[in-house]
Chains A and B, each alone.
Chain A
């Protein structure tokens, strides 16, 4: 185990207690305007979104400039900010339209861009100087001297390579005065990001322009070429060669990251559901707040870990943070499984007098099902659903239509944006 060293620079005495005043930013993914609102409502200090161009998730429902503006306005009400990923490595043909795009992002009130290509860094500085520039993990930033380079180039923040460990981060913070952002949760590249073109070679899709087809998650057979003869290095029934990493989960390392002075803790997953974003962000929010309020008596609560596991579909690991990952941090012979709990409904309204909730259906449920409600402003609780009605007051046997408005009785108070989930028994 890594030794946790208290950092005096981030502490102050407040009301007679030593608390941590330098809280890291909790940075959430937001693949759509709805996800942005949920992320912010559930406690994110900042969100990163993709625009229609120059970003790396060409499959996500990316934001129009108008949606960015709306997202920024919404976030502002919570004191949160928005960053836009513009982290492709451009080819010559991608240079057109960049200036107008960056000007529009700046005009929408976005705080910063996450960028890898110096073309975009320099262009941004010239045409959209109000935007902060954050170096993307696509640059595989792995040492303090390279951090110093980007500091001298005037960047506001760097996102580290996923391969950087805690002691390396400490040294970077000591040597260079720049904001550091590090991943804490989510799916991982198993290669150095930016240095993988499997997708280009296998499917002619450019991974560094958003076309990654995740070839690293496929199975392969390992052979050796012995004097021209192909000898298999596996036996019948063995798991095939795989390079699929377990997903990153650093929930238990958050105190350590706070003591290191890491400025922004990043959750990955712009393609993930609002249920995922809400669950993950709310748990990390609780951990950060609890540790900063009383670091001496902090303990990870079992219920936080359980809560996190409700939306997990893959095994998790701490990756490079504590030490070099071994085979235990990879998955062999594994393909996606279902999460333990399904997202079943989003609360739109609650009438305290009648104790009736109005919610939007997100998954099949029916009277008799055990459901769980959670949200940033309630304690999580479970209950059994009784009678349910549609918007017109017709009683239903099942809530079967996605986005259908459903009403039923809930004893405990709920608020808009609370979520209902249902155990996945399959």
Chain B
């Protein structure tokens, strides 16, 4: 059996070095002008630097161009894609079909990963984008384990599944935080994502806290819990899911390194020593995450064991 890739989200180039040591196989980087909800901002120069570092370690680097583009960013998108081609990154994450068109027109040869988040919900779509150049589909986080497994069985491309971290629930083009402060006659401090200044919405009825921030793409709101299935990976391993993603957005530098290392242990135990070895350590791995988990971010298993109705 093939080991799944462990995909993580670094904050800086220096962070990549630490995450390589912690056992990451692949990295998602980019900048907010083209990519959505990244753990860190990487200029083109930093993407180049990061790519050298990652390739020297024999690992993969993926660049996010998964924004919903408006006309005004299309020209810059083309320049950016050409730069990525020059740098030689390993994949481009996309959600907007404009990227498919631009890649065709420019003769870009970097593989595409289809990552539209919420709408990647069935295997037909996975194969549809596969026929249009996508080498991998990143599945919606709102799917159950059974749905994930059925997609994998029927997919003709690689499948990536998030196993840990926050989920974006909402993106508006509007400046909802700024508007709220302006309405109340204040001016929002633009840098609202500073380490000690994370904002959240409190939902009194559900007693939930939803992280919220703004950037050039608008306003983003996140799930109240971090999903964590470090102790439930068996069936995903067995099904041959190609990539397991830990989205570290809004978490600390150290937390991302530590959790990456724990997932590394889980994968290695299963594939190097066998299922039993994984079964033996999984509860301890979970306990280690619980120990460092921020109080504001309870853990759950996302939609893996939850059904939605409609």
A residues with CB within 8 A of B: 58, 89-95, 116-119, 122, 138-140, 142-146, 148-150, 152, 161, 163-164, 168, 171-172, 190-192, 194-198, 200-202, 204-206, 208-211, 216, 218, 220-228, 230, 233-234, 238-239, 241-243, 245, 320, 324-327, 330, 332
A49 to nearest B CB, angstroms? 19
| Cβ B310 vs Cβ A209 within 8 A | yes
Residue of B71, B219, B303, B309 ringed by the most chain A CB atoms within 10 A = B71
Of all A-B residue pairs in the complex, the 7 with the closest CB atoms, nearest first, are A211-B310, A327-B179, A149-B97, A145-B98, A209-B310, A220-B201, A119-B124
| Cβ B70 vs Cβ A168 within 8 A | yes
| Cβ B196 vs Cβ A226 within 8 A | yes
Q: A145-B98, A239-B183, A326-B182 are in contact. Are A202 and B70 (CB under 8 A)?
A: no
B145 to nearest A CB, angstroms? 12
| Cβ A208 vs Cβ B183 within 8 A | no
Q: Which residues of B contact A228 (CB under 8 A)?
A: 295-296
B187 to nearest A CB, angstroms? 12
Contact pick for B310, options A152, A206, A241, CB 8 Å = A206
Contact pick for B96, options A146, A191, A220, A324, CB 8 Å = A146
In the docked arrangement, what's the CA distance between A206 and B308, Å?
Answer: 6
Answer yes or no: B269 CB below 8 A from chain A CBs.
no
Stretch of B166-174, B237-245, B274-282, B285-293 at the chain-chain interface: B166-174
CB-based nearest A residue for B294: A228
List 14 extra interface pairs beyond A149-B97, A196-B171, A222-B199, CB under 8 A.
Answer: A91-B147, A118-B124, A145-B74, A145-B98, A148-B101, A190-B172, A197-B170, A202-B203, A202-B208, A220-B201, A220-B210, A223-B199, A224-B200, A324-B174
Contact pick for A89, options B119, B176, B204, CB 8 Å = B119
| Cβ B173 vs Cβ A163 within 8 A | yes
Answer yes or no: B202 CB below 8 A from chain A CBs.
yes
Residue of A216, A223, A330 ringed by the most chain B CB atoms within 10 A = A223
| Cβ B71 vs Cβ A198 within 8 A | no
| Cβ A200 vs Cβ B142 within 8 A | yes
Q: A161-B68, A201-B224 are in contact. Are A150 and B97 (CB under 8 A)?
A: yes
Q: Which residues of B contact A200 (CB under 8 A)?
A: 142, 169, 303, 308
Contact pick for B117, options A92, A195, A209, A327, CB 8 Å = A195
CB-based nearest A residue for B149: A92
| Cβ B173 vs Cβ A201 within 8 A | no
| Cβ B69 vs Cβ A142 within 8 A | yes
B110 to nearest A CB, angstroms? 18
B262 to nearest A CB, angstroms? 23
- What does DSSP make chain B's interface, helix, strand, loop or mixed? mixed
In the docked arrangement, what's the CA distance between A139 and B97, Å?
Answer: 10
B window 182-219: CB within 8 A of A = 182-184, 196-206, 208-210, 212, 219
| Cβ B122 vs Cβ A117 within 8 A | yes
Q: Which residues of A contact B173 (CB under 8 A)?
A: 163, 192, 320, 324
Q: Which residues of B contact A332 (CB under 8 A)?
A: 180, 183
Q: Which residues of B contact A161 (CB under 8 A)?
A: 68
Q: Which residues of A contact B29 (CB under 8 A)?
A: none
Answer yes or no: B265 CB below 8 A from chain A CBs.
no
Q: A91-B121, A163-B173 are in contact. Are A140 and B203 (CB under 8 A)?
A: no
| Cβ A92 vs Cβ B150 within 8 A | yes
Answer yes or no: B102 CB below 8 A from chain A CBs.
yes
CB-based nearest A residue for B118: A197
Could you jot down 28 A-B contacts, CB within 8 Å? Answer: A89-B122, A91-B122, A139-B119, A146-B69, A148-B101, A168-B70, A190-B176, A192-B171, A194-B119, A195-B68, A195-B119, A196-B169, A201-B169, A204-B306, A206-B309, A218-B205, A222-B202, A223-B202, A224-B198, A224-B199, A225-B199, A225-B296, A239-B183, A241-B180, A325-B174, A326-B182, A330-B176, A330-B183
Answer yes or no: B151 CB below 8 A from chain A CBs.
yes
Answer yes or no: B143 CB below 8 A from chain A CBs.
yes
Chain B interface size band reads: 35 or more
Answer yes or no: B272 CB below 8 A from chain A CBs.
no
| Cβ A330 vs Cβ B147 within 8 A | no
| Cβ A201 vs Cβ B96 within 8 A | no
Q: Which residues of B contact A117 (CB under 8 A)?
A: 119, 121-122, 124-125
B window 109-164: CB within 8 A of A = 117-119, 121-125, 128-129, 142-143, 147, 150-151, 154
Answer yes or no: B100 CB below 8 A from chain A CBs.
yes
In the docked arrangement, what's the CA distance between A93 and B148, Å?
Answer: 12
CB-based nearest A residue for B120: A89
| Cβ A210 vs Cβ B310 within 8 A | yes
A395 to nearest B CB, angstroms? 50
Contact pick for A221, options B74, B196, B201, CB 8 Å = B201
Q: A143-B70, A171-B71, A224-B197 are in contact. Are A218 and B203 (CB under 8 A)?
A: yes
| Cβ B198 vs Cβ A90 within 8 A | no
B window 75-101: CB within 8 A of A = 96-98, 100-101
Q: Which residues of B contact A201 (CB under 8 A)?
A: 142, 167, 169, 223-224
CB-based nearest A residue for B36: A195
Contact pick for A143, options B74, B118, B150, CB 8 Å = B74
Residue of B100, B175, B221 ringed by the most chain A CB atoms within 10 A = B221
| Cβ B308 vs Cβ A143 within 8 A | no
CB-based nearest B residue for A164: B70
Q: Which residues of A contact B306 (CB under 8 A)?
A: 204
Q: Which residues of B contact A168 (CB under 8 A)?
A: 70-71
Q: Which residues of B contact A325 (CB under 8 A)?
A: 174
Contact pick for B203, options A150, A220, A320, CB 8 Å = A220
| Cβ B171 vs Cβ A143 within 8 A | no
B223 to nearest A CB, angstroms? 5
A53 to nearest B CB, angstroms? 11
In the docked arrangement, what's the CA distance between A142 and B172, Å?
Answer: 13
Q: A95-B124, A196-B170 are in contact. Are A146 and B142 (CB under 8 A)?
A: no
Q: Which residues of A contact B183 (CB under 8 A)?
A: 239, 327, 330, 332
